[in-house]
Amino acid sequence: MNRKIIFNSLWMMSEKIVSIFGLIFVTSFVAKYVGPDIFGNIALALSIFQLIQLASQLGSDVLIFKRLSRNKKSGINLINVTSRIRMIVYMALSVPVLIFNYFYMDSNSFFYVVAAFIACFIQAMDVYSIYYDATLNSKINTFVNIFGLIVSLLFRWYIAFMMLNPLWLCLPIVVAPLVSMSIRLFYFSRSTSSQVISKKFKKKYVKYMLGAGSSLVISSLSVAIYTRLSLLTLGAIDGKAAVGIYSVAASLATSWSFILNSLITSTLPSIFSELDENKAIKKTAKLNLIVVLVSVPVILGVFILGSFFINYFYGVAYLASYTPLNILTFSTMLGALGTVSARYIAKHAGYSFLSKKMLLVALFSLIVNIIFIYQYGIIGAAVANVLTQLLSLTLFNYFFKRGLILRLHMATLLFWRGRY
């Protein structure tokens, strides 16, 4: 891993360190103030519109990243041409959800839904962060996101400290993505030259996005659905308080994933641009090993200190999140390994396979979530998450190109033993 990749990873990690600070000292303070019911209400609203956000992006996170890694000019054109498509899709999917919630939710809950709608729309349009990640300029994203995050955290802390009406929390939900996107768009516009693109090439880019993106969006949505199915099913079966408790466990369990994601994102351009298959497998196997080595100390630390941490920062009302926290922390490692495998499949243009596979994974996730949550509640939701991640990482992936991912996993084991 060269020096530029390492420094890029560190820049990306520094932003998430601020997020963890906010999670520990601000989000926990807010959660303790509003209680599991309202906290669960906010989590549910965000989960619904995050799904719509992913659908509207049409797989652009992978397509733009891959295009920028190979051809910067073409990647910029792809960003500019497809923005209108994302907006139209987002609005078309969101309006029915807003209308439904307006008639079937109480007025207070609907405010959180509207805030989530606005925040996720901004994030759906903000693909400029992908540009800076792909060009290994994550320090720009870091500065921008930290500023937006600090503003949002200050709002949240003030609302909880002054014991204002919890509805004021709608404001910071919107502020963070709005500030970040505005600044990022400003820098993007100044650092890249706008080009006049003919109608012929516009249609070509749109066709590419809709063609390759249609497969990717099904895959991305399936992933998003099965990662949120536990939360959504809990809301339907056990109520908003259970969602609030589970969301605390899920937030803490994934809070450290920025380390893994930073390493993965910074290493991907090197893997995508590698033409030698054996070298590409070796690089990816090494990345898998790094993910495991980084994860093990975190999993052990959560097991030892998790209960004390939850009680001290979130309060007794959230102690039930300790057991699912341990389970979901292990699931975070599996999810990161799954991301590596999915990106390796994308490198081999396996978009159609990913879409079909993730539909099966989502269906499997739905079945196990209903069964386990009905029987075991919050703990069952966490177990269902792990089972889904494990099968998604292994069995379902092994059907791609005569076991290419199985070969990758075997290479990882050999790399661990020093035989590769």
Give 146 or 122, the one with higher predicted confidence. 122
Q: State percent of the chain over pLDDT 70.
A: 85
The two structure tokens encoding residue 176: 């963070």
Q: State percent of the chain over pLDDT 90.
A: 26
Compute the average pLDDT of residues 64-72.
72
Confidence tier at 213 by pLDDT (50, 70, 90): low
pLDDT of the residue at 385: 92
**Residue 121 reports pLDDT greater than 70:** yes
Q: How far is the C-alpha of 154 from the C-alpha of 41, rounded, in Å?
A: 21
Confidence tier at 259 by pLDDT (50, 70, 90): confident
Reference 386, options 246, 251, 230; nearest CA is 230
CA distances from 300 to 233, 294, 295, 311, 387 (A): 29, 11, 9, 18, 20
Compute the average pLDDT of residues 124-148.
79
pTM of the model: 0.77
Domain count, the chain: 1
The residues, any chain, with a CB within 8 Å of residue 194's CB and separated by 6 or more, are 80
Predicted confidence (pLDDT) per residue in 272-292, tens digit: 777 777 888 888 888 999 999
Predicted confidence (pLDDT) per residue in 27-63, tens digit: 888 888 888 888 888 888 888 898 888 888 777 777 7
User: What's CA 419's distance to the chain center, in Å?
Assistant: 34
Expressed as residue numbers, the domain containing 272 is 3-416
